[in-house]
Amino acid sequence: MLTVHHLENSRSHRILWLLEELGVPYEIKRYRRDPKTSLAPPELLAVHPLGKAPVITDDGVTIAESGAIIEYLVERYGKGALVPAPGTPAKLRYTYWMHFAEGTAMPPLVMKLVFTRVERGPMPFFARPIARAISRKVKGGFIDPNLSRIVKHMDDELGRDGWFAGPDFTAADIQMGFPVEAAVVRAGAGAFANVKRFVERIHARPAYQRAIEKGGKVEILG
């Protein structure tokens, strides 16, 4: 039986969602975040050396990294579903967004969260203005301008024909769901019409909802 090592409120929702879309049976092994730090528990380190989610184990193989897991699952179980035909323009767009999600979109989205936490975290009173000043400088000079371009790019591309790789829903939309939802919370992406419509459409998918029912809500921190 395929096992999804599922950290609550995390990117591993993607994998549950994909498996629900494909109708592949699986079991969930659940992990809770540390209530203070939000980090994964040490038990995940026993599954993979980085101790992060998602991770799956299947047929004696352990696979980490959302994109790699998605590629493995569609290839092994998809029978051609959720992936554009090889050599087509849609396949090229599919590959681009599969990599864009974690390679380009998530780093500034994670940095935004980290710097916001730096501003709000406990510290001696005299240090707070300095921490705030540094954080605002990094956000204003680097993170926010990058996020603005990323959000506009996502919105423009979604405006072409609705989904990231073309007119058909693909696994690239599953991979991009997490950064898009994070960008709504951390970069005001909900104000962009095509992004807003994308979020409404993914939330309406029965497989997305079943993944939430089984794995719990995804509440992205601002």
Ligand X SMILES: N[C@@H](CCC(=O)N[C@@H](CS)C(=O)NCC(=O)O)C(=O)O
- Tell the smallest beta-carbon distance from residue 4 to ligand X (Å): 12
3-class secondary structure, 3: strand
Pick one of 11, 48, 93, 186: the residue that binds ligand X (CB under 6 A). Answer: 11
Give the range of 21-29, 46-54, 117-125, 210-218 binding ligand X by CB under 6 A: 46-54
- Tell the smallest beta-carbon distance from residue 133 to ligand X (Å): 27
Question: Is 7 a binder of ligand X (CB under 6 A)?
Answer: yes
Please state whether the peptide bond connecting residue 49 to the residue before it is cis, i.e. omega within 30 degrees of 0: no
Number of residues that bind ligand X (CB under 6 A): 11
Q: Rounded to whole angstroms, how far apart are CA atoms 153 and 146? A: 11
Question: Is 10 a binder of ligand X (CB under 6 A)?
Answer: yes
Site for ligand X in 52-111 (CB under 6 A): 52-54, 65-66, 102
CA 12 to chain CA centroid, Å, is 8
- Candidates 41, 192, 187, 177; CA nearest to 110 is 187
With a CB cutoff of 8 Å and minimum separation 6, the contacts of 47 are 5, 55, 57, 62
What is the binding site for ligand X (CB under 6 A)? 7, 10-11, 39-40, 52-54, 65-66, 102
